[in-house]
Amino acid sequence: MRFETLAVHAGGEPDPGNGAMAPPIHLATTFRHGPAGEREAGYEYQREGNPTQDRLEAMLAALEGGAAALATGSGMAAMSVLLDSLPAGARVLIPDDCYTGLRVLAHEFLPQRGVSAALVDMADLDAVAAAARGGVALVWAETPSNPQLKVADIAALARIAHDAGALLTCDNTFATPALQQPLALGADVVMHSTTKYFGGHSDCMGGALVFARRDAFFEAVAHRRHLTGGILSPFNAWLTLRGARSLPARMAWHCRNARALAVFLEGQPAVEVVHYPGLASHPRHAVAAAQMRDFGGMLSVRIRGGREAALRVASRLKLFTNATSLGGCESLVEHRASVEGATPFSPQDLLRVSVGLEHPDDLVADWAQALGDGPASSAG
């Protein structure tokens, strides 16, 4: 079955008991069993497993082409349960441009278990191979990356990781399986913040891990999720399932709008550079074109004039709301350096943009007025 068809049908089978076309939500925390713990339908306690989560996990595995999936309470819960399942003393490679939360885990929490993380430019395959020679348990890719939209060659990273005896994990939040399927390119685990495009409406947190194999490592991560409790609520599992049915359609629209905005911004004198993998000027455009179906709804832009100029543009945008997160219907903009804490990692002139589902002409017009010398500019 093709992706669009799977997205509508995987996990969405009519209720066998009553034919309901919308999947039911089972809120039960506990399930009847026999006097000696005999299970009736495989369930015992919600934290271990439940019918709504089963539907969501079947959908996630189907869309990523994996053997098994685990839903979690957030993207960070997915990341944590995976990294905490590595043996104490393990070494991991993480991207030099990545979701802030991963960098904080790597600096604050992993060392407490003797797990060390080396930051590597995942686009530089020689650098990755050299870093992997030191012995490594897991290579973490995030492509396109947050917030600089760096692109890493997933198939090449898989070869390097496997040659070193390591697993390759790919954070596929920005692309989603509608645009990129890391397991088919050799990755072992895909991680998602389903809070973003899967949910799609900025109203539902969640995370996921999808595994290429239902093996001992999968069982260890599933066991840890059960016992440490970072599960997804049935209600959020249901909202995520609901969002996934329209994922391919929404992604097509996000891509179209982001491309239109990226092309416009690239031609603006006030703009230093646009980071969007769909532009021919992107340094890894060819890699992106080879491993992605389309280039996504995220871009970032560096504004000439530094921090003050970037903040002025952010303050003048009207349709693009200043807010964190991404992947919803509404367009958002964020000066990342301002929200990254005491030691910001992002350049001070960078604005990250989540391009929503509005009409592209309205989105471009908003940037045109914000970059231009309209009346508000005298205030800045």
Q: Smallest distance, Å, CB 375 to ligand PLP? A: 35
Residue whose CB is less far from ligand PLP, 76 or 363: 76
129 class by beta-carbon count within 10 Å (0-12 exposed, 13-18 middle, 19+ buried):
middle
Among 55, 196, 245, 316, contact with ligand PLP (rule: CB under 6 A): 196
Q: Which residues contact 273 (CB under 8 A, 6 or more apart)?
A: 301, 302
Rounded Cα distance between 15 and 22, Å, is: 8
Q: In terms of Cα–Cα distance, which of 141, 146, 116 is closest to 128?
A: 141
- Say whether residue 75 binds ligand PLP (CB under 6 A): yes
- Say whether residue 347 binds ligand PLP (CB under 6 A): no
Helix axes 51-64, 234-244, angle to 10 degrees: 30
- Say whether residue 193 binds ligand PLP (CB under 6 A): yes
- Say whether residue 101 binds ligand PLP (CB under 6 A): yes
SS3 220: helix
Which residue stretches of the chain are H helix?
Answer: 3-9, 51-64, 75-83, 100-104, 125-132, 154-163, 216-228, 234-244, 247-266, 285-291, 306-316, 336-339, 360-371
- Say whether residue 76 binds ligand PLP (CB under 6 A): yes
Which amino acid makes up residue 111? P
39: DSSP letter: B
- Say whether residue 172 binds ligand PLP (CB under 6 A): no
Q: What token pair was written down for 105?
A: 């885990």
- Residues 194, 77 contacting (CB under 8 angstroms): no
Classify each residue of 67-104 as buried b or exposed e, where b means 16 or more C-beta atoms within 10 Å of its C-beta: ebbbbbbbbbbbbbbbbbbbeeebbbbbbbbbbbebbe
Q: Of 10-18, 191-199, 331-339, 346-354, which segment contacts ligand PLP by CB under 6 A?
A: 191-199
The residues annotated with a catalytic role in the active site are 47, 99, 171, 196
Residue whose CB is less far from ligand PLP, 208 or 357: 208
Residues 232-261, interacting with ligand PLP (CB under 6 A): none
- Say whether residue 354 binds ligand PLP (CB under 6 A): no
Q: Smallest distance, Å, CB 259 to ligand PLP? A: 20
Residue whose CB is less far from ligand PLP, 202 or 348: 202
Residue whose CB is less far from ligand PLP, 99 or 320: 99
Binding mask 32-61 for ligand PLP (x = CB under 6 A): ------------------------------
Q: Of 20-28, 112-120, 147-155, 193-201, which segment contacts ligand PLP by CB under 6 A?
A: 193-201
Q: Smallest distance, Å, CB 172 to ligand PLP? A: 9
Q: Give the CB-nearest residue to ligand PLP.
A: 75
Question: Residues interacting with ligand PLP, by CB under 6 A?
Answer: 74-76, 99, 101, 142, 146, 171, 173-174, 193, 195-196, 205, 207
